[in-house]
Amino acid sequence: MQKISVKGGKILKGEVSISGSKNATLPVMTAALLGESPSLIKNVPYLNDIKTMAEVLKTLGAKAQLEDHRLHIDPKGFNKWEAPYELVKTMRASIYSLGACLAKMEEAKVSLPGGCAIGARPIDLHLKGVEQLGAKVTIEHGYVHAKAENLVGTTIQLAGPHGPSLGATINVLLASTAAKGTTIIESASTEPEVEDTVNFLKAMGASIEGGGTSRLVIEGRKKLKGVEYSVIPDRVEAGTFMVAAAITKGDVTLKGVNANHLSAVTDKLRQIGVTVDVSPEGFRVRGEGSYKPADVWVLPYPGFPTDMQAQIMALLATVPGISVVTETIWENRFMHVFEMNRMGADINIDRSHAVVKGVPKLTGAPVMASDLRASAALILAGLVAEGETMIQRIYHLDRGYEKIEKKLSALGADIKRMD
């Protein structure tokens, strides 16, 4: 098993190119199954989750080949409708095959999904959505089994207890492209990754209105064509490198970013005292002068993203004063706190709140990553910790960050991957 060593004290400087979005690529890959001809998806990151989804598509009978950040998907052999546990257990996004299989095969059998251990992640909204389209759903032996000979458009309310569901929106969107008549999704997720999937489906010939809003209107059509499409940049990777520049008091320019997708992160960093300059060429992030504490509320998009909560906490752990981070999406997403405290941070958890008292310095320590974003946060803390930080269980990183240690090293960090 591999681990990452970080020796703190280096100021990051230079340029870094941001990879394509994992969370946009995964639903786009699944949507490509609905085409009558092959699709070429560009700007695809080399990540384990992408490889897993490619295996899911192959299991369903399609062809998927990744080369030079370009993914060729040929859906002509798509004739199976079961996504097995061995693949789905490692990645929650595999559940997207539910909507695609219903749309194309009129039947789907998908293992209940896995992924990071950050809290209860029910799929009740997914099932509610496809049932309202006419699917009959049963859950047996750890699998969701859905059948629908005739999907019929209707109005579906997808509001959940923690806000809109990205995954449920994707699944209902995919299934509704084959439904007879008009489907209206109310309280749809407005996240950029959903809008990117809408744009991809529209390029294929789907009739969809309201991309980027909480109300999607889909006119069902049976025949879609394969297209060439480039996915959006990864806003979470971009945000992580913004925090890396800030925590080391560095000067880093990010290439290939979308400013509109990062407004909440940009605003919070500026509130803390970080200088963020936005231009058509990219973001320039400079850590100049002293920082101020800040309170962070995690909210559905366009609020501060839950996938950046751990990273911003690493920065706040080094800022004098008291900050409060409130997590409203996942109840178990403070697992990184215990490892940060091993590095000298002073963070106390009170239910959904983390009270962060900034300390003069962090110290290197052996730590263990609990999930994908916690892995990144521990690396960020290690960048400024005194001595060496050894991060174990880094297989999470390879699910969401493409060569993060190489990108950080190119900016001047003392970081390496070890067996």
Residue 101 bears catalytic tag: no
Q: In the predicted model, is pLDDT for residue 119 greater than 50? A: no
Element (H, E) at 96: none
Amino acid at 272: I
Share of the chain above pLDDT 70, in %: 97
Q: In the predicted model, is pLDDT for residue 134 greater than 80? A: yes
Q: How far is CA 404 from CA 18, 311, 322, 407, in A?
A: 10, 14, 30, 5
Q: In the predicted model, is pLDDT for residue 114 greater than 60? A: no
Q: Measured between alpha carbons, how far is 168 from 175 in angstroms, rounded to an integer?
A: 11
Structure tokens at 21: 């979005």
Check residue 9 and give left, alpha or beta (phi > 0: left; psi -120 to 50: alpha). Answer: left
pLDDT of the residue at 147: 97
Location of structure tokens 């080369």: 67
| Other residues' Cβ atoms within 10 Å of the Cβ of residue 115 | 18
Element (H, E) at 289: none
Amino acid at 301: Y
| Other residues' Cβ atoms within 10 Å of the Cβ of residue 392 | 16
Residues 182-221: pLDDT tens digits? 999 999 999 999 999 999 999 999 999 999 999 999 999 8
Cα dihedral: 317, 322, 327, 331 (round 10): 80
Alpha helices (H) along 150-191: 166-176
Rg of the chain in Å (alpha carbons): 21
Q: Measured between alpha carbons, how far is 351 from 312 in angstroms, rounded to an integer?
A: 18
Nearest Cα to Cα of residue 208 among 191, 237, 188: 188
Share of the chain above pLDDT 90, in %: 85
Which domains are assigned to the chain?
3-19+233-418 (3.65.10.10), 22-230 (3.65.10.10)
SS3 state of residue 168:
helix
227: phi then psi, degrees, rounded to nearest 5: -140, 170
What average pLDDT does the structure give for the chain? Answer: 94
Nearest Cα to Cα of residue 107 among 142, 78, 71, 67: 78
What is the separation of C-alpha 313 from the centre of its chain, rounded to a whole number of angstroms? 18
Structure tokens at 288: 């100049």
Q: Is-contact 262 334, C-beta < 8 A?
A: no
Catalytic residue among 103, 116, 257, 383: 116
- The structure's pTM equals 0.95
SS3 state of residue 365:
coil
Residues 6+ apart with CB under 8 A from 382: 6, 7, 8, 343, 364, 389, 391, 415
Q: Which pLDDT band holds residue 120 (cuts at 50, 70, 90)?
A: very low
Q: Is-contact 222 358, C-beta < 8 A?
A: no
Residues 6+ apart with CB under 8 A from 360: none
pLDDT of the residue at 38: 98
Q: Is-contact 151 220, C-beta < 8 A?
A: yes
Q: In this structure, are strands 322-326 and 296-297 parallel, antiparallel, or unpaired?
A: parallel
| b/e sequence 143-177, b meaning 16+ C-beta within 10 Å | bbbbbbeebebbebebebeebbbbbbbbbbbbbbb
Residues 80-89: pLDDT tens digits? 999 988 888 8
Mean pLDDT confidence for 369-393: 96
213: phi then psi, degrees, rounded to nearest 5: -115, 175
Q: Is-contact 196 232, C-beta < 8 A?
A: yes
List residues bridging with 17 in a β-sheet. 255
Strands of the sheet containing 107-111, edge to edge, are 82-83, 107-111, 143-147, 136-140
pLDDT of the residue at 84: 87
Q: In the predicted model, is pLDDT for residue 117 greater than 50? A: no
Amino acid at 345: A
Angle formed by the axes of helices 22-31 and 48-59, nearest 10°:
10
| Other residues' Cβ atoms within 10 Å of the Cβ of residue 59 | 17
